[in-house]
């Protein structure tokens, strides 16, 4: 067994870390406070190849493996969850469905712009009454001659209402299957299409510098050639997208845990109480030791899962495990970090306060921790 990263993967970690520390870290707190999406940073992330990392070069991507992509997300998340969310959703949820399920014409039309950072793409799945219960979707698409007429709404959609948003992939009910369950189909929908409205969502607790939107569809007419794949394949496409997307959420948990741990370790060495640094007190040292141990375990699980994916092995169970474990590891690590900082950890001037808020989304987004446990239980034969 070889646990060494390749030279290319090590270079990606080094370069992305340098970029995150020089370009993102100085403005992360300000963007968070203002709830301001940064098109400038997003374009810069595109320029250095952080969008489309796993996409082949013929469509404008970098043609790298999934481990390389996950390392990039991890390193951005080590500094800021909002910017990590932009590239994680931009890749896994925006680019992914178009790349894996789009036809040649669709790929060539959209992927180069998305991979360059010139534009972003959303993933329209969650609805006001359909979160964990994806089968509760009420958005419909009805065939009318050579068009589909879309009606309904979506909510909590990342990258769908900022100045770089080009469009979304939207899942809609297009009929009923023989077993009586809804039939789902995915469509490509560009901004500017009559009847399509995207409204930015504000006052978020976390990821305040990422773009989140509510989407409304009122008799939106979609050309038949904008169907993604074939009629009735939408649910399968969405499940495959979420399986891969879980890995990027796991990477955000891993990176955020690493960032909070490093901040707490540094602070504990500098903070003097009772005549010595607090890192020398067993209560603090054990918190840091537990954090280091769990981060190491989380990284091994996540990287192994990416290795399975890169080698075309079954990875769905491990993806759920990695998403669940990395998310909850970050929760424990950031809690330790804030405790180590004491009162200072409650102040916005310290990054651990932002890490503490950003972590909570990881327990909820792209399948709650409860849903991940259901997925794992099914794989091990309990349900």
Domain of 284, CATH number, reads 1.20.140.10
Do 352 and 294 lie in one domain? The reply is yes
Output the average pLDDT for the chain.
96
| pLDDT beyond 90 at 136 | no
Round to whole Å and give the CA distance between 296 and 312.
25
Q: Residues 262, 267, 268, 270: what is their CA dihedral angle, to the nearest 10 degrees?
A: 130
Would the CA dihedral through 323, 326, 332, 335 be positive or negative? negative
Round to whole Å and give the CA distance between 87 and 158.
10
Ramachandran assignment for 203, one of left (phi > 0), alpha (psi -120 to 50 degrees), beta (any other): left
pLDDT tens-place string over residues 53-65: 999 999 999 999 9
Domain boundary among 180, 198, 232: 232
Q: What are phi and psi of 60, to 5 degrees?
A: 95, 5
User: How many Cβ atoms from other residues are within 10 Å of residue 17's Cβ?
Assistant: 17
Strand locations in 107-225, DSSP E? Answer: 120-124, 140-144, 147-158, 165-176, 182-190, 196-200, 212-223
What is the pLDDT averaged over residues 1-19? Answer: 95
Residues sharing a CB contact under 8 Å with residue 203, sequence separation 6 or more, in sequence order: 35
Total count of domains within the chain: 3
- Structural domain contains residue 351: yes
- Active-site positions read 366
Q: pLDDT confidence of 1, banded at 50, 70, 90? A: confident
Instruction: Supply the pLDDT for residue 104.
Output: 97
Q: What share of the chain is helix, strand, coil (3-state, %, to 5)?
A: 55, 20, 25
| Half-sphere exposure (Cβ direction) of 103: Cα atoms closer than 13 Å | 11
Helices and strands counted in the chain (H then E): 12, 10
What is the CATH number for 221? Answer: 2.40.110.10
Do 258 and 228 lie in one domain? The reply is no
Do 73 and 127 lie in one domain? The reply is no
Do 246 and 149 lie in one domain? The reply is no
Q: Tokens 């082949």, residue? A: 56
Provide the residue range defining the domain that includes 67. 7-121
Do 330 and 319 lie in one domain? The reply is yes
What residues are paired with 153 via a beta bridge? 216
Strand locations in 84-146, DSSP E? Answer: 120-124, 140-144
Q: Tokens 């299957």, residue? A: 177
Do 172 and 245 lie in one domain? The reply is no
| pLDDT beyond 90 at 213 | yes
Residues sharing a CB contact under 8 Å with residue 377, sequence separation 6 or more, in sequence order: 383
Instruction: Supply the pLDDT for residue 132.
Output: 81
Of residues 1 and 233, more confidence is placed in 233
Q: What element of type H or E holds 277?
A: strand 276-277
What residues are paired with 198 via a beta bridge? 215
Round to whole Å and give the CA distance between 137 and 125.
8
| pLDDT beyond 80 at 154 | yes
């Amino acid at each position: 067994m070889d646990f060494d990263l390749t030279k290319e993967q090590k270079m990606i970690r080094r370069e992305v870390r340098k970029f995150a520390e020089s370009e993102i870290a100085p403005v992360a707190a300000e963007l968070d406070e203002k709830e301001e999406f940064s098109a400038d940073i997003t374009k810069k992330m595109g320029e250095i190849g952080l969008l489309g990392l796993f996409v082949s070069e013929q469509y404008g991507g970098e043609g790298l493996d999934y481990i390389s992509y996950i390392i990039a997300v991890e390193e951005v998340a080590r500094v800021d969850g909002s910017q990590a969310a932009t590239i994680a959703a931009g890749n896994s949820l925006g680019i992914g469905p178009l790349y894996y399920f789009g036809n040649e014409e669709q790929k060539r039309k959209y992927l180069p712009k998305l991979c360059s950072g010139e534009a972003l793409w959303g993933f329209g799945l969650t609805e006001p009454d359909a979160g964990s219960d994806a089968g509760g979707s009420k958005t419909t698409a009805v065939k009318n001659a050579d068009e589909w007429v879309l009606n309904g709404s979506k909510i909590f959609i990342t990258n769908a209402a900022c100045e770089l948003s080009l469009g979304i992939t939207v899942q809609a009910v297009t009929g009923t299957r023989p077993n009586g369950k809804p039939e789902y189909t995915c469509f490509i929908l560009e901004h500017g299409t009559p009847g399509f409205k995207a409204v930015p969502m504000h006052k978020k607790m976390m990821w305040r510098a990422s773009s989140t939107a509510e989407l409304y569809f009122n008799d939106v007419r979609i050309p038949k050639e904008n169907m993604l794949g074939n009629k009735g394949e939408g649910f399968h496409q969405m499940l495959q997208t979420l399986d891969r997307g879980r890995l990027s959420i796991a990477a955000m948990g891993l990176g955020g845990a690493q960032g909070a741990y490093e901040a707490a370790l540094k602070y504990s060495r500098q903070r003097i109480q009772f005549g010595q640094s607090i890192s020398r007190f067993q209560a603090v040292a054990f918190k840091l030791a537990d954090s280091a141990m769990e981060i190491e375990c989380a990284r091994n699980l996540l990287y192994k899962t990416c290795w399975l994916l890169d080698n075309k092995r079954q990875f769905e169970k491990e993806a759920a495990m990695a998403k669940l474990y990395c998310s909850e590891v970050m929760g424990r690590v950031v809690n330790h970090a804030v405790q180590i900082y004491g009162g200072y950890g409650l102040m916005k001037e310290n990054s651990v306060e932002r890490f503490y808020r950003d972590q909570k989304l990881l327990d909820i987004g792209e399948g709650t921790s409860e849903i991940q446990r259901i997925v794992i239980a099914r794989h091990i034969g309990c349900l």
